[in-house]
Amino acid sequence: MAKFKMHLLVCGGTGCNASRSQEIAANLKSSLKDNGLENEVQVILTGCFGFCEKGPIVKVMPDNTFYTEVKPEDAIEIIMEHVVKGRKVTRLLYTDPENKQHVADSKHMGFYKKQMRIALRNCGYIDPQNIEEYIGADGYTALAKCLGEMTPEQVINEIKLSGLRGRGGGGFPTGLKWEIASKNHADQKYVVCNADEGDPGAFMDRSILEGDPHTVLEAMAINGFAIGATKGLIYIRAEYPLAINRLLVAIDQAHEYGLLGENILGSGFNFDIELRYGAGAFVCGEETALIHSMEGQRGEPTFKPPFPAQSGYNKKPTNVNNVETYANIPIIITKGANWFNKIGTEKSKGTKVFALAGQINNVGLIEVPMGITLREIIFEIGGGIKGGREFKAVQTGGPSGGCLTNKHLDTPIDYDNLIAAGSMMGSGGMVVMDETSCMVAIAKFYLEFTVEESCGKCSPCRIGNKRLHEILEKITKGNGTMEDLDTLTNLGRVIKDTALCGLGQTSPNPVLSTIENFYDEYLEHIKDKKCRAGVCKSLMQYVIDQEQCVGCTACARNCPVNAISGEKKMPHFINTELCIKCGACIEKCKFNAISIC
């Protein structure tokens, strides 16, 4: 066993590949062979390190030396110096931007601190279906601490001091929310976990529930203790069968171990948790709609006040928090508010989990401290844009958020900065787009979602979003006018200003932010009838290159609407009036004579 003494990991991610990592690997291998080391040291291409800004990367194991910006010609030096003589190649080491020092061991690189898994701390480490593993990972210690050493007021103060804000999107201070619920007296109060994750592409909550269900149960019990509630409800969408299953197992185990139920840890505190299944309506993620849905009513929001903390589930004081918010609670209690509030920015503490998706190399679930920049997320964690293409925009906050652009790349991410930039934190979807994305089409996509998912209660959201969508449709079809642009802006602002719930109020963000940041692209669609990304089909024209066409008639024979004409062995033409842009001709042309412009 352990045939190899040393491994050289060469980043084979697309970013580094473009900067010749294949060549580096080949050079390393041949140099090893020259030194007769090919059976002792292994060179291997890996997935993307995510650190594409400093690529190509070569990492030496087991000593964790991290070489950056390696060129193929550096290979020999690495082998001769590092492998043969055991001396690190200093000039290739990563330089800490703060203190300008070379970092020898990658474990001390700031890069690894870009991500910080607090809410996800146990995901990928413990067996979610084994309560003992959770206990081994300090699980239920926070609950024990609350029940044994703290008063409810102290718990609330700790959460307030931590600066934790709701991770479901709005960013309301969690401690304050608890305090309000605790001060409303009633014979019965409720603690509700909002697991109705509905943003397209978002799966932070599902991952937490599937990977670490006990942390949510523990946090809910702490929440119950703090506000004086003995009942907890988890509103989870029925489309999450695995998460449901793991929660049910976890609840059973917690009962079995006496960590839920009557007289928990001999403290006299009782707490129980039940699941409530949602049918997958986006609007039921809004807390008042969620409560109505749990009550068996139509899932639609009601005007606040009264807030759930005053009159919630069954008209009783109810505290609703999102899954990720809860996942932060136990560790805040065990490590203390002062540990937590040192992470993040002045007004946004801690970390945020994002589902990183789109035209990015490392699509994945990441957790980063607040205050990180989009640039760091996209280029240092996400591994940059796929295929080395140009970054164009990033959409945060799902249908409630907006599209940010180059100029926002260095803005520290927190609740307030994102809102100021015309987007929002949302629940944590982050879709990266490159030049192949049409921003008008993107806005239309999100509007389509909102139109589909609007509950229909208030006029601005029910009708206004439909109209926004229709106007965007008109623009992408090439029929837009400059007045439409004014209408979009005015209508978008009015919807923001007048819609009933938070979802409606944020629904025009995708439109407004793209108009703000990609005005030129709208203009092109309207005035030049062009879609630079080539996404809007109606704005494209199919053209046969008269030079290339040999008149084989394959295109004409395959055109479903007989839009192509021409004599045999003579160049053909496309009647653009008839053309439906189906693409059949391009597929059939063997001479690359047909193009889209």
Partner 1 sequence: MTKIKSLADLKAMKQSVQEKIDTRAKGKAEGLVQVKIAMATCGIAAGAKNVMDYMMSETEKRGMDVVFTQTGCMGYCHAEPTIEVTLPGKEPIVFGYVDLKKADEIIDKYIKDGELVEGIIPVNYEKINN
Partner 2 sequence: MEKINIIIDNKPLQVEKGQTVLKAARAAGIDIPTLCYYELDGVKLENRPGGCRMCVVEIEGRKNLAPACATEVAEGMVIHTCSLRVVNARRTVLELILSDHPADCLICPKSGKCELQDLAQRLGVREIPYQGEQSTYRKDMSPAIIRDVDKCVMCRRCETVCNVWQTVGALSAVNRGFQAVVAPAFEQDLAKSPCTMCGQCVMACPVGALSEVDLTRQVITAISDPKKTVVVQTAPAVRVALGEEFGMEPGSIVTGQMASALRRIGFDYIFDTDFAADLTIMEEGTELLTRIDKFTKGDKNVKLPILTSCCPGWVNFFETNYPDMLDVPSTAKSPQQMFGAVAKNYLANKLGIKREDMVVVSIMPCVAKKFESQREEFKENGNPDVDYSLTTRELAELIRQFNIDFKTLPVEDFDNPLGESTGAAVIFGATGGVIEAATRTAYELFTGKKLEKVDFTELRGLEGVREATVDFNGTPIKIGIAHGLSNARKLLDEVKKGNSGFHAIEVMACPGGCIGGAGQPFHHGNFDIIRKRQEAIYREDAGKPIRKSHENPYIQTLYKEWLGAPCGEISHHLLHTHYFDKSKHIEIEG
Min dist. Cβ of residue 197 to partner 1 (A): 12
From candidates 49, 178, 271, 415, binder to partner 1 by CB under 8 A: 49
- Cis, peptide link before residue 56, omega less than 30° from 0: yes
Binding of partner 2 by 204 (CB under 8 A): no
Single-letter residue type at 522 = Y
Q: Which of 17, 68, 115, 395 binds partner 1 (CB under 8 A)?
A: 115
What number of residues does the chain have? 597
Note whether 223 binds partner 1 by CB under 8 A. Answer: no
**Residue 496 binds what, of partner 2, partner 1, none (CB under 5 to 8 Å, by partner type)?**
partner 2
Instruction: Check residue 347 for interaction with partner 2 (CB under 8 A).
Output: no
Contact positions with partner 2 (CB under 8 A) in 457-516: 457-460, 462-467, 470, 487, 490-491, 494, 496-500, 505
Q: Is the peptide bond before 62 cis (omega within 30 degrees of 0)?
A: yes
Using the minimum distance from each CB to partner 1, give the nearer residue, 38 or 416.
38
- The nearer residue to partner 2, 261 or 478, going by C-beta atoms, is 478
Q: Which does 202 bind (CB under 5 to 8 A by kind): partner 2, partner 1, none?
A: none
| 499, interface contact from partner 2, partner 1, none, CB < 5-8 Å by kind | partner 2
Binding mask 224-263 for partner 1 (x = CB under 8 A): ----------------x-xx-----------xxxxx-x--
In the set 88, 165, 206, 572, which binds partner 1 (CB under 8 A)? 206
44 binding partner (options partner 1, partner 2, none; Cβ < 5 to 8 Å by kind) = partner 1
- HSE, side-chain direction, 13 A CA sphere, residue 560: 7
DSSP 307: P
> Which span sits near partner 2 by CB under 8 A: 102-110, 257-265, 456-464, 559-567?
456-464
Comparison of 59 and 165: residue with beta carbon closer to partner 1: 59
- Cα–Cα distance between 362 and 380 in angstroms, integer? 10
DSSP letters, 253-299, are HHHHTTSSBSSGGGSS--BEEEEEEE---GGGGSHHHHHHHHTTS--
DSSP letters, 207-246, are HHHHH-HHHHHHHHHHHHHHHT--EEEEEEETT-HHHHHH
- Footprint (CB under 8 A) of partner 1, residues 7-26: 7, 9, 11-12
Q: Which stretch binds partner 1 (CB under 8 A): 74-82, 361-369, 455-463, 487-495?
A: 361-369
CA separation for the pair 445, 447 (Å, rounded): 5
Segment near partner 1 (CB under 8 A); pick from 119-127, 226-234, 419-427, 482-490: 119-127
Nearer to partner 2, 298 or 342 (CB): 298
Label residue 101 exposed, middle or buried (CB < 10 Å: 0-12, 13-18, 19+): exposed
- Which residue number, 23 or 470, has a Cβ lying nearer to partner 1? 23
Q: How far, in Å, CA of 69 to CA of 53, rounded? A: 9
Indicate the residue among 181 and 501 with the shorter CB distance to partner 2. 501
Q: What is the Cα 221 distance to its own chain's centre? A: 28
Bridge partners (DSSP) of residue 272 are: 231
Residues with Cβ < 8 Å from 419, sequence gap 6 or more?
A: none
Question: Taking the complex as a whole, how short is the minimal distance between the CB of residue 302 and partner 1, in angstroms?
Answer: 32
The residue from 94, 111, 190, 415 that contacts partner 1 (CB under 8 A) is 111
What lies within 8 Å, CB to CB, of 120 at 6+ separation is 207, 208, 211, 212, 327, 353, 365, 367
- Choosing from 36, 62, 296, 305, the residue that interacts with partner 2 (CB under 8 A) is 305
Q: How far is CA 40 from CA 24, 52, 187, 214, 232, in A?
A: 18, 29, 71, 45, 58
- Compute the radius of gyration of the chain from its Cα atoms: 28
* Distance from C-alpha of 220 to C-alpha of 483, rounded to nearest angstrom: 51
In the bound state with partner 1, the residue whose beta carbon lies nearer, of 74 and 205, is 205
How many residues make contact with partner 2 (CB under 8 A)? 34
Q: Which of 74, 199, 324, 367 binds partner 1 (CB under 8 A)?
A: 367
Per CB under 8 A, residues contacting partner 2 are: 281, 283, 298, 300, 302-303, 305, 451-460, 462-467, 470, 487, 490-491, 494, 496-500, 505
